[in-house]
C-alpha cells in the first residue's frame, strides 16, 4: 500500500486526507526509519508495509467507533511503542487528546521528537509502566474516555493494564490479530473483574495482504477494584482467571 493507495483506501471509508496530513505521514515514515537504525522501533521498514501494517492498521478502530472521528475524547495509548495506534489517529482526528505511556524511555524520546516535527497539539508522553500509571494513587486512574492498545499483551493481561485507566462510561479498544476469540474467552473473568463488558468484536481483513484483524471494544461499566492493577510484572505472570492453570 503506497501513500496514494493509503489515501484512496481511507477515502473509500469516508475519511479524506489533506495534503498536509499526507505530508505528516511522510514525515512520520522518514523519522521512523531513520530512528529505527539505532532504536528498535519496528521490524517493518518497507514503505508500503509501514503504510498498511502500521498507519492504516492503526486507523481501523475509527471505522467501527465513530466517536473517535467526531468527539472530543481523551485517549490513553498503552505501550504505544512507535506511536501506534494513537498518533496515526491523532493526525487524522485532531479532536482526540492523546496520552501515551511506554516503559522504554528511548521510545518516548523518539515520540517527543516526532510530535514536535508533526506539529501535533494535545499529546502528552509518559515514561512509565502501565501498572503504575493506572495504580490506585495515580492521577491518571479512571481519567480517560478511551484506552487503546495494539500488540501489547493477551486480553487477560491487557485488561488489567488498560481498564484501570478508563473512566466509568468510557471504553477500551484492543487491536488484535487472528487469535482474538480464544483471547476473549480466556480473558472473560479478568474483563468482568476489572469493570469491563465486551460490546463488540469486529473481524475484518486488511486490504492488499488479507491479514486477519479484530477490533475488540469493551465498555467500562463499573469502577475497577482498588487492588488492581497489581504491581509491575504480576499481570503478565499471573493473569486474572488464568493463574490456576
Q: Is residue 30 part of a domain?
A: no
What pLDDT, on the 0 to 100 scale, is given for residue 179? 81
| End-to-end C-alpha distance for the chain, whole angstroms | 42
Q: Nearest Cα to 174, choosing from 205, 195, 198, 145? A: 198
What pLDDT, on the 0 to 100 scale, is given for residue 138? 95
Number of domains in the chain: 1
Q: Nearest Cα to 150, choosing from 228, 56, 226, 69? A: 56
Q: Is residue 108 part of a domain?
A: yes
Q: pTM of the full predicted structure?
A: 0.95
- Which residues participate in the annotated binding site for S-adenosyl-L-methionine? 79, 84, 130-131, 150
Range of the domain at 95: 60-226
Q: Is residue 134 part of a domain?
A: yes
Average pLDDT score, the chain: 95
| Sheet containing 166-176: order of strands | 123-127, 97-102, 74-78, 144-150, 166-176, 212-220, 196-205
What is the biggest distance separating any 2 CA atoms in the chain, rounded to whole angstroms? 54
Asked if residue 23 has pLDDT above 70, the reply is yes
Q: Is residue 241 part of a domain?
A: no
Q: Is residue 41 part of a domain?
A: no
Whole-angstrom distance, CA of residue 90 vs CA of residue 98:
7
Is residue 210 within 8 Å of residue 177, measured between CB atoms? no
pLDDT tens sequence across 67-110: 999 999 999 999 999 999 999 999 999 999 999 999 999 999 99
Give the β-pairing of 196-205 and 212-220: antiparallel
- Which residues participate in the annotated binding site? 79, 84, 130-131, 150
- The pLDDT of 148-170, averaged and rounded, is 94
Q: Is residue 42 part of a domain?
A: no
Q: Is residue 17 part of a domain?
A: no
Q: Which segment of 56-60, 113-117, 152-156 scores lowest on mean pLDDT?
A: 152-156
Q: Is residue 156 part of a domain?
A: yes
Residue 189's Cα: distance from chain center in Å? 22
Asked if residue 203 has pLDDT above 90, the reply is yes
What pLDDT, on the 0 to 100 scale, is given for residue 244? 46
- Domain CATH number, residue 175: 3.40.50.150
- The pLDDT of 44-70, averaged and rounded, is 97
Amino acid at each position: 500500500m503506497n501513500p496514494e493507495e493509503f489515501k484512496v483506501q481511507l477515502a473509500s471509508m469516508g475519511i479524506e486526507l489533506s495534503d498536509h496530513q499526507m505530508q505528516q505521514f511522510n514525515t512520520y515514515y522518514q523519522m521512523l526509519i531513520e530512528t529505527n537504525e539505532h532504536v528498535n522501533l519496528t521490524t517493518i521498514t518497507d514503505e508500503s508495509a509501514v503504510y498498511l501494517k502500521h498507519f492504516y492498521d492503526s486507523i481501523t478502530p475509527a471505522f467501527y467507533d465513530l466517536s473517535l472521528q467526531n468527539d472530543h475524547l481523551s485517549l490513553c495509548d498503552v505501550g504505544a511503542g512507535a506511536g501506534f495506534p494513537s498518533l496515526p489517529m491523532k493526525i487524522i482526528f485532531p479532536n482526540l487528546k492523546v496520552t501515551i505511556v511506554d516503559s522504554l524511555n528511548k521510545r518516548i524520546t523518539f515520540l517527543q521528537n516526532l510530535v514536535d516535527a508533526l506539529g501535533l497539539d494535545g499529546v502528552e508522553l509518559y515514561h512509565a509502566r502501565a501498572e503504575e500509571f493506572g495504580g490506585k494513587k495515580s492521577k491518571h486512574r479512571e481519567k480517560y474516555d478511551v484506552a487503546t492498545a495494539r500488540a501489547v499483551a493477551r486480553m487477560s493481561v491487557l485488561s488489567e493494564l488498560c481498564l484501570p485507566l478508563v473512566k466509568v462510561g468510557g471504553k477500551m479498544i484492543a487491536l488484535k490479530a487472528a487469535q482474538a476469540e480464544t483471547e476473549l474467552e480466556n480473558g472473560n473473568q479478568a474483563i468482568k473483574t476489572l469493570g469491563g463488558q465486551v460490546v463488540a468484536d469486529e473481524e475484518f481483513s486488511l486490504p492488499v495482504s488479507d491479514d486477519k484483524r479484530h477490533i475488540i471494544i469493551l465498555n467500562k461499566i463499573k469502577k475497577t477494584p482498588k487492588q488492581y492493577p497489581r504491581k509491575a510484572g504480576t499481570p503478565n505472570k499471573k493473569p486474572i482467571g488464568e493463574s490456576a492453570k
